[in-house]
Amino acid sequence: MHACLLKNMIKVFNTLTNKKEVFQPQDKNNVSMYICGITPYDEVHLGHARAYAAFDIIKRHLINSGYGVTHVQNFTDIDDKIIARAKERNLPARLLAKKYIDDYFVQTDKLNILRANSYPLVTDMIPNIIAFIKVLMDKGFAYQAGGDVYYDVAKFKDYGKLSKQKLEDRLAGARVEINDNKRSSYDFALWKQSKPDDPQDVCWQSPWGMGRPGWHIECSVMSSTLLGETIDIHGGGRDLIFPHHENEIAQSEAKSGCCFVKYWIHNGFVTIDHEKMSKSLGNFFTLSDIFKKYSPRVIRYYLISQHYRSPLDFSDENVDGAKNALDGLDDAFLRLIETGCEVADKISDKDLQDLYKKFTASLDDDFNSQKALSYLHELKNLILTELQSAPKERLSQMRFAFKKMAEDSLGLVLPTVKKDEEVLALLEKRNIARLKKDWASADALRKAIDEKGYKIVDNADGSSSVISKN
């Protein structure tokens, strides 16, 4: 079985229909995917990481299934929060945004998140946004009031179809601005008039005066400009379903007259000790802070250890569990390398083929990384059972399967064997101490080796070897 497989029968849970559907993109060979990016006014946090790790698994599986993927992820580099934070720090708004955009790449690269094909900025799309709003006004879906431009929600008959909410039953606490100038409190801003104290670098001339775009219009414009009027996958966290994604549908379909998105995909919330992560609750964790305590590899494993639609609870106990599980995988893989087996170019043995098929089938079923990991651990157990007895050809197939499953599909960067002459000398001294039954010296040498980032493996034949833990 070769690494490059024919396209699988993939099923996707579509938030729009509230059920799993067979994935059929517009182009049978290529997928267009738009993921809502960060508003860069602060450091990247755990909630961001959950979303982008989830969609990284989705993207990897689509690619491994034979699709080309055109992935666009925006940066909302102009927003009320950015302006407020820039004023607090006496910085230009765009400079502040750039700082946190740079931080995004630093932190998500550590998590081995595949980069998008394009990262559009709102500030580069202002002419496109103005043109889009003009069309909505010409079609009667938008109106000007008090210097601002609003979308008239009542004019879009399908409003609420994504969130399954009637206007009168909208979510408590949703980002819906109350304004006396609006025809309805549910109408939302497409263009906001500049305020007297707004910095000049966040104001643009428009047919409605100086101002800047509203939040929702930005993603509609960026996605349609770069991916077309209908896209295959649009996603983000569950908190974006209403009002953001609901409003994107209203704007986009009113303008184009056609389906905006075929498959809406949303990941579950992150909770901290079973409470929703929130700055106001003081349980808010940035990735840079988390990485001071845990390796990014451990955090990636933790992020994909639950199905992407399920809530993910963050606690030291849960992350320590992820670390232990990853250590077990690393140990098996490094022991496999130590046998001297090469990486095969295919899987021939039927039981390994069947295991790999089960692994792939779990990702075909709405990208179930939790179940996929269970099959990776099944392979780990098989390796540990057969390590001393299996022929090199089978071990090579196991190594190939491990790489395909862990690294290519799940994005878990595999450890490498490192040779260190000083460590090897310490190991030899330990072996001599063991022969002399000088257990105190042997234990001290084991500790010295451990502190250098290596782990001792006592083999079944009585010999010992070292493997890198990093």
pLDDT digits (tens, 9 = 90+) for 140-198: 999 999 889 999 999 999 999 999 987 665 533 445 555 567 888 889 999 999 988 88
Cβ pair 386, 458 in contact under 8 A? no
Instruction: Specify whether the CB–CB gap between 456 and 331 falls below 8 A.
Output: no
Residues 104-136 pLDDT 10s: 999 999 999 999 999 999 999 999 999 999 999
Label residue 453 by pLDDT band (50, 70, 90): confident
On the question of pLDDT at 32 being above 60, the answer is: yes
The residue among 241 and 278 whose pLDDT is bigger is 241
Report whether pLDDT(51) > 80: yes
pLDDT of 300 over the 90 cut = yes
Neighbour tally for 1: CB within 10 Å = 16
Q: Above pLDDT 70, what percent of the chain?
A: 94
Is the pLDDT score of 322 beyond 80?
yes
Q: How confident is the model at residue 440 (pLDDT cuts 50, 70, 90)?
A: very high
> What average pLDDT is seen over the chain?
92
Report the sign of the C-alpha dihedral through residues 338, 341, 345, 347, in that order.
Answer: negative
For the cut 90, the answer to whether the pLDDT of residue 417 exceeds it is no
Exposed e or buried b per residue across 33-66, where buried means at least 16 C-beta atoms within 10 angstroms of its C-beta: bbbbbbbbbbbbbbbbbbbbbbbbbbbbbbbbbe
**What tens digit of pLDDT does each residue of 65-107 get?**
999 999 999 999 999 999 999 999 999 999 999 999 999 999 9
- pLDDT for residue 4: 43
* Average confidence (pLDDT) over 310-334: 95
What pLDDT band is residue 1 in, cutting at 50, 70 and 90?
very low
How confident is the model over 378-399, as pLDDT tens digits?
A: 999 999 999 999 999 999 999 9
Question: What residues contact residue 261 under an 8 Å CB cut-off, 6+ apart?
Answer: 16, 230, 231, 232, 233, 234, 249
**φ, ψ of residue 221 in degrees (nearest 5):** -70, -45
Distance CA 158, CA 407 (A): 42
Cα–Cα distance between 245 and 266 in angstroms, integer?
10
* 370 pLDDT above the threshold of 50: yes
Q: Is the pLDDT of residue 431 over 60?
A: yes
Q: What's the pLDDT score for residue 470?
A: 57
